[in-house]
Structure 1
Amino acid sequence: MALNVGDIAPSFELADTELKMRALDEFKGEKIVLSFIVAASSPVCEVELCTFRDSWKEISDMGAQVIAISNDGPFANKAFAEKHNFNFPLLSDYTSKTIRDYDVLMPDLLHIKDYNAAKRSVFIINEDGKIGYKWVSEDPLKEPNYEEIKNFLK
């Protein structure tokens, strides 16, 4: 079932790069820029998450926190995060449960049967836990509109 602006964001509990379980609830009370990426270390995901890293202060000053989710394992995510010095959590949804809960599953990535990934997507979850902004791309090579995201946060 597709999520829409105004819906309550589905909760999750996923492993971070240090194998610590992180839940959506721990970020309550602030806006969350929730970025689903296709694959750790892929070129477009690298650009996207580095853009969020480089915008960290500006996003943080607007009262928001970035959280990225991929279906890669925590070890692949850790190597990716360390290589690029990400200053926000990169969470591992290796079962794709949260990806399914947000209705952004991309099955058979690159036409490889059963190789599931997340559609490149961004949700902004407001302080009340409701989705305030939603962007989902069917094209894994398309980046989100970063200015639109920042304008929404203002």
Structure 2
Amino acid sequence: MLDTGDEAPDFTAPLANSDVETFTLSDHLEEAPIVLAFFPAAFTGTCTTEMCTFRDQLSNFEDVGATVYGISVDLPFTLNEFRRQNDLNFGLISDERRELIDAYDVETTFSPLDMRVAQRSVFVVDGNGTVTYVWRGSAKDEPDYDAVREAAAEARR
């Protein structure tokens, strides 16, 4: 299980940022600390609340030099619509192939449909590509945004 002190698994995946681009983690380490916020599915209750809270608190993360990305198994086109409808001001990474939920060990199953989705979780990655903070929750949990911000501030030092 991926934990603090481990090297963050590098990846390349589609980035929904009103367009669709390719995002490779190792190419963005200069944006560190990087907050990777995994969420189960766009347009669902707690996921929308979580991503909108990151939106509303984005300046708190930017104040400590952190860059936030949401990650779900939704298609990038779905994520762009989710961004648009919720006025999200940060990029969303599509793990449509479910490679990231495997690499970060955050796969869970959405029971009614037996779908593999991301467990709600947050990782902070420093400029060396090291995981400096890990939080894993249940589908209804939200992260402690202040703790994530503090971890990002620590990762910057």
TM value normalised by structure 1: 0.93
CA apart distance, 1:12: 1.0
Between the aligned partners of 1:153 and 1:4, the Cα distance in structure 2 is 15
Aligned residue for 1:44?
A: 46
Matches within 5 A, 1:1-154: 2-17=1-16, 18-29=19-30, 30-107=32-109, 109-113=110-114, 115-137=115-137, 139-154=138-153
Between the aligned partners of 1:86 and 1:27, the Cα distance in structure 2 is 20
**Percent of counterpart pairs with the same letter?**
33
- How far does the alpha carbon of each residue in 1:75-121 deviate from its partner, in whole angstroms, 9 at most, with x for none? 111110011111111011111001100000003x12423x1100000
Matched to 1:146, the amino acid is Y
Between the aligned partners of 1:28 and 1:77, the Cα distance in structure 2 is 23
- How far does the alpha carbon of each residue in 1:46-94 deviate from its partner, in whole angstroms, 9 at most, with x for none? 1111111111111011011001110011111111001111111101111
CA apart distance, 1:26: 2.6
CA apart distance, 1:152: 1.9
Between the aligned partners of 2:141 and 2:13, the Cα distance in structure 1 is 25
SS where residue 3 of structure 2 aligns?
coil
Aligned length: 150
Matched to 2:125, the amino acid is I
Between the aligned partners of 2:65 and 2:76, the Cα distance in structure 1 is 27
Between the aligned partners of 1:125 and 1:112, the Cα distance in structure 2 is 32
- How far does the alpha carbon of each residue in 1:3-25 deviate from its partner, in whole angstroms, 9 at most, with x for none? 01000000111112222111112
- How far does the alpha carbon of each residue in 1:121-143 deviate from its partner, in whole angstroms, 9 at most, with x for none? 00000111100000011x20111
Q: Unaligned stretches of 5+ in structure 2?
A: none
Matched to 1:72, the amino acid is D
**C-alpha contact (below 8 Å) 2:11/2:100 kept by paired residues:** yes
CA apart distance, 1:145: 0.8
TM value normalised by structure 2: 0.91
